[in-house]
Chain A
Amino acid sequence: MKLLEKLLNHCRQKSPWLFHMNSGSCNGCDIELVASIAPRYDVEQLGIHLEGSPRHADILCITGPVTFNTLNAVKTVYGQVPHPKAVVALGSCAASCNAFAGSPTVVGPLHRHIPVDVYVPGCPPRPDAIIEGIAKAAELLSHPERKPLTDEDVKDIPECGGHCVVSAVEPTVEGETPCR
């Protein structure tokens, strides 16, 4: 069984499927993300495939500061991605709202609502930085301790469309994300 586990983890790293979501971004980061699919950078050499449905994806790439209108959509899509999953916060807006901090329609950076694994800084980040971030997330997926959350872990959290892990809790220790 250990051999099968190793094979499974190796394959998880070699075939990370992506779903891209825009939670109110200016589209700069989105343009750089699709530039990384273009022939010059070609993420398909790493097995990365931009998928049409969140249920097909392993890695969720979210751009933009989470606006009030997109908050429910972000939580629902996060719940729809099956385990094991990784979240990449693309751009400095997703990490820290950048210039929009304090705006009444922006409900805060991404880590306040869903657990984030990798941050890719930049405004917008270069395509090679995005690919490095996705490759790092793919490597995190291959770690065997990322077991799926059970119903016990999520029972106090409001249900939205599947295994929704929603946390409005601020990280208590700098750098730590909840629900890990």
Chain B
Amino acid sequence: MKSIVQLLIQNVREGSITLPYPERPAIQSHYRGMVQNAPEECTGCGLCAYVCTSSAITVQRAADGFRWSYDPGQCTFCARCVQRCPKKSLSMEDTRPPVYQHLGALKQSHDVKKKKKPAVVAPIPQAVEAN
């Protein structure tokens, strides 16, 4: 247990440990940053919107597709959506959300059009030629 005088001498000798602005500490691995969606994998099931704690994700369905939107300003970064996504199309990136000035400035959305299923035409079995 050091005395205050020893602490002060040690502090002065070690110098400052401050990060001079705008330097910032490195982001570690497994950092829960903003949610990213891969539109080619997403099926619009809406489970991420269902489990989202802060209603930051919404999925709006229309006749010809769906719109997935996400507002990092409302997100609480709990990663429940990433855990629940059945297609593993959601992931969290390593960057922290930036500071913004107007409401909704960070909102992102993807429009995904419904893929047209190729028409599968089974060949009509021909009448077997009677021998």
| Cβ-based interface call for A156 (8 A) | no
| Cβ-based interface call for B66 (8 A) | no
* A119 touching B73, Cβ below 8 Å: yes
* A121 touching B76, Cβ below 8 Å: no
* B75 touching A92, Cβ below 8 Å: yes
* A174 touching B100, Cβ below 8 Å: no
Min distance, Cβ A60 to any Cβ of chain B, angstroms: 16
- Scoring A residues 158 to 172 as 1 if CB is less than 8 Å from chain B, else 0, what string do you get? 000000000000010
* B53 touching A40, Cβ below 8 Å: no
The interface centre, meaning the residue of B18, B22, B105 with most chain A CB atoms within 10 A of its CB, is B18
Q: How far is the CA of A111 from the CA of B71 in the complex (A)?
A: 16
- Scoring A residues 121 to 134 as 1 if CB is less than 8 Å from chain B, else 0, what string do you get? 11101101101110
Contact of B103 among A101, A120, A174 (CB under 8 A): A174
| Cβ-based interface call for A96 (8 A) | yes
| Cβ-based interface call for A81 (8 A) | no
* A92 touching B16, Cβ below 8 Å: no
Contact of B99 among A39, A98, A111, A120 (CB under 8 A): A120
Q: How far is the CA of A51 from the CA of B92 in the complex (A)?
A: 37
* A99 touching B20, Cβ below 8 Å: no
Using a CB-CB cutoff of 8 Å, which residues 66-98 of chain A contact chain B? 92, 95-96, 98
Q: How far is the CA of A41 from the CA of B74 in the complex (A)?
A: 26
- Scoring B residues 64 to 86 as 1 if CB is less than 8 Å from chain A, else 0, what string do you get? 00000001111111000000000
CB-CB under 8 A for A39 and B103, given A92-B76, A98-B74: no
Min distance, Cβ B116 to any Cβ of chain A, angstroms: 34
Residues of chain B lying within 8 A (CB to CB) of residue A175: 102-105
Q: How far is the CA of A131 from the CA of B21 in the complex (A)?
A: 9
Residues of chain B lying within 8 A (CB to CB) of residue A176: 102
Min distance, Cβ B30 to any Cβ of chain A, angstroms: 15
27 contacts between A and B (CB under 8 A): A39-B16, A40-B19, A42-B16, A42-B18, A42-B19, A45-B18, A92-B54, A92-B73, A95-B74, A95-B103, A96-B74, A98-B53, A98-B54, A99-B53, A117-B101, A121-B99, A122-B97, A128-B24, A128-B25, A132-B22, A132-B99, A135-B21, A174-B103, A175-B102, A175-B103, A175-B104, A177-B103
